[in-house]
Structure 1
Amino acid sequence: MADSDSSIQRHRRLPPLAALRAFEAAARHLSFRKAAEELAVTPTAVSHQIRLLEAVLGRALFVRHVRRVALTAAGERLYPVFRDGFDSFEQAISALDPQSQRKAVTLTAPMLFTARRLLPALDAFRSAHPGFDLRLHAADEVVDLHAGLADIAVRYGPGPFPGLVAEPLMSERFGVLCSPRLGLSHPDDLRTAVLIHTEWKRPGMAPDWQRWRRLSGATGLAIGEGPRFTDDGHALQAAIAGHGAVIASLVLARPEIEAGMLFQPFGPEIVGETYHIVATPENIACADVRAVRDWLADHVSGETPLRENRKPILGRSGGPE
């Protein structure tokens, strides 16, 4: 070719690959020790490679503190370039041997959320990623993502989520739900209705009858009586069967509301917390975990149910909390 500046003819002036790998791992972990564990070398070797890279570039890439490191402005500028470069290397190499690609990701989420939001959306994931093994771990207990028991999670609550990357997925709202057969149309009807209770694992966040009564101003409710369930799914089934009224998630009960099995006879609604997608920084950098994240954002997120099946409240009511 006539162009002597062609990238084919010129020689690339790059630092040693070992130094670049050490920098990328240390920048991702913000730890020389963790980078050393990943690369199967000693922390001293990682430190040596980074000092070599800094000498070649003529500038510091890390600020060394007693028990941690932080990126300098130059390090912040270089890290995403190297990270994306190594990700591209990995993807290109994996593409040569499809058997070497990881096609299994474990997603952990609360039990009712898994049943009501994840399972109905599985077909969309399978259509987009045939042959990909998405494993659902349904548990109301928080799973330690740093321990490797799951790769990504949906968590309910305001956070913070220390050491994890988090982004909001969907908001939650709660309201009175019951079978249309009960014929409820006004909060006063609850004085003679059976009130179904769910024993929430985090009482401080509980959207219960006591909280709803404060919002609505309703009086004469026997909120200390009625059947109690430790599982919110069982409480919903009791309401569907006509055993009473329950304070439940309007988001997770949407299929039953749309099918006419449950309806929201009146307000007010209790504003809940937010469901978040969370993962470790290392996992969210992986293409397979990001595929699950994108599926959650595109097919699982949603708003509270449409209210065609909710009758307006008559008389006094409180607004949303």
Structure 2
Amino acid sequence: MGKLSRELGSGLNSSQFANLYSFQAAARHLSFARAAQELCLTPSAVSHRIARLEQGLGFRLFQRLPRQLRLTEEGERIFLILQGALDELREALQPTPGSEIGGRLAIHAPPSLAACWLVPRLAGFTVRHPALTLDLRVGNGGVDFRTQSIDLALYYGQGEFPGLVAERWMDERIAPVCSRRYAQQHGLLQRAEQLRQCTLLHDTLAWDNAAFDAEWAYWARQRGVELPDHHLSFDRSDLCVLAAASHAGVAIGRYRLVRERLASGELLLPFGEAWLPAPSAYYLVHPARDSLPGRVQAFIDWLRECAA
């Protein structure tokens, strides 16, 4: 809590702690009404608490716009420091010094990564840290760390995460995959030109702002292959792969997500080991903090080991 005290100086005293907590809720929601609902207060009470906090500090925390709240530069700085201080406090409230890392750990991941890579490995993490309660949330959209109670997000993307700390954690490579039956029916084995007669399976949300056919277009440019117009579209890579395994067409397989299906023979690489470095990679993303809570650092360390 030392950095928070230094930032707030004499403006922080015992009478201001309730106001500070109200500010934290309002900053997360960017709404006095939603903060009031969380705190079981009226919006007017929340507004008055924050006004008293601003008066004590001597600067504005919010820009009050018509039907909108926006943090000032000072408010954003104080909010981030306060979030870090609360994490430190949660760590300090562990039962005893040197005890097992415990508590709730909330992780966000894309559905395909969660289903095909992360969940099958989670038993190893729970054995290592039995006192941790893991809460895994999946979704294609980005996380708003201010309003969502998420500790760490795993993203597949191109490394653009403004205002957040991002670590490139795991690389990827891609290649077409299909079932053996589909490859034989369409004469695909070692004959990429036969793709013109096939159905392509597209992950339309491969990464943020990607075109619906981004992965196939990238692979085709690199290989000089003409692609057909006939396709089926999904919003998840694992659904593309499932459709391919069910003889519906040819999908772009991400090695990290399809290698078990390749090893079992459920899928094959019709054009041999035609892997290309993917245009995206996997990132670990979280808000900036002086130091990460122990539970988050433990999960990151485990993820690095798995990736290696």
TM-score range, shorter chain: 0.5 to 0.7
Counterpart of 2:261 in structure 1: which amino acid?
E
Give the match's secondary structure for 1:243.
coil
Do structure 1's residue 203 and structure 2's residue 206 form an aligned pair?
no
Do structure 1's residue 289 and structure 2's residue 268 form an aligned pair?
no
Do structure 1's residue 272 and structure 2's residue 251 form an aligned pair?
no
* Pick aligned residue for 1:241 from 240, 246, 259: 246
State how 1:88-167 maps to structure 2 within 5 Å.
94-96=94-96, 103-167=103-167
Q: Deviations over 1:53-76 (max 9, x none)?
A: xxxxxxxxxxxxx9559xxxxxxx
C-alpha distance 190-138 of structure 1, shift in aligned 2 (>3 A): same
* In 2, Cα distance between equivalents of 1:26 and 1:166: 28
> Deviation at 1:133?
0.7
Contact residue 284 and residue 290 of structure 1 kept, 8 A? no
Percent sequence identity is: 25
Partner of 2:46: none
Q: Higher helix fraction: Structure 1 or Structure 2?
A: 2
> Deviation at 1:161?
2.1
* In 2, Cα distance between equivalents of 1:279 and 1:67: 20
C-alpha distance 25-218 of structure 1, shift in aligned 2 (>3 A): same
Contact residue 177 and residue 250 of structure 2 kept, 8 A? yes
Contact residue 180 and residue 263 of structure 1 kept, 8 A? yes
C-alpha distance 26-247 of structure 1, shift in aligned 2 (>3 A): farther
Question: What is the CA RMSD across the aligned residues, in angstroms?
Answer: 3.8
Counterpart of 2:124 in structure 1: which amino acid?
A
Counterpart of 2:162 in structure 1: which amino acid?
P
* In 1, Cα distance between equivalents of 2:150 and 2:291: 12
Q: For structure 2, which runs of at least 5 residues remain unmatched after alignment?
A: 21-52, 59-71, 76-83
* In 2, Cα distance between equivalents of 1:110 and 1:276: 11
Do structure 1's residue 229 and structure 2's residue 234 form an aligned pair?
yes
State how 1:40-51 maps to structure 2 within 5 Å.
40=17, 42=53
Partner of 2:223: 216
Partner of 2:176: 176
Contact residue 198 and residue 231 of structure 1 kept, 8 A? yes
* In 1, Cα distance between equivalents of 2:277 and 2:293: 37
> Deviation at 1:129?
0.7
* Pick aligned residue for 2:4 from 11, 19, 25: 25
C-alpha distance 282-125 of structure 1, shift in aligned 2 (>3 A): same
Partner of 1:188: 193
Contact residue 174 and residue 207 of structure 1 kept, 8 A? no
> Deviation at 1:295?
1.9
C-alpha distance 91-213 of structure 1, shift in aligned 2 (>3 A): closer
- Structure 1 residue ranges (4+ consecutive) displaced by more than 6 angstroms after TM superposition: 43-47
> Deviation at 1:210?
3.1
* In 2, Cα distance between equivalents of 1:175 and 1:36: 58
> Deviation at 1:156?
1.9
Give the match's secondary structure for 2:231.
coil
* In 1, Cα distance between equivalents of 2:230 and 2:127: 47
Counterpart of 2:159 in structure 1: which amino acid?
G
> Deviation at 1:154?
0.5
> Deviation at 1:283?
8.9
Q: Deviations over 1:45-99 (max 9, x none)?
A: 779xxxxxxxxxxxxxxxxxx9559xxxxxxxxxxxxx9xx96x97576333999
C-alpha distance 121-229 of structure 1, shift in aligned 2 (>3 A): same
User: Number of paired residues?
Assistant: 242
Give the match's secondary structure for 1:227.
strand
Counterpart of 1:288 in structure 2: which amino acid?
R
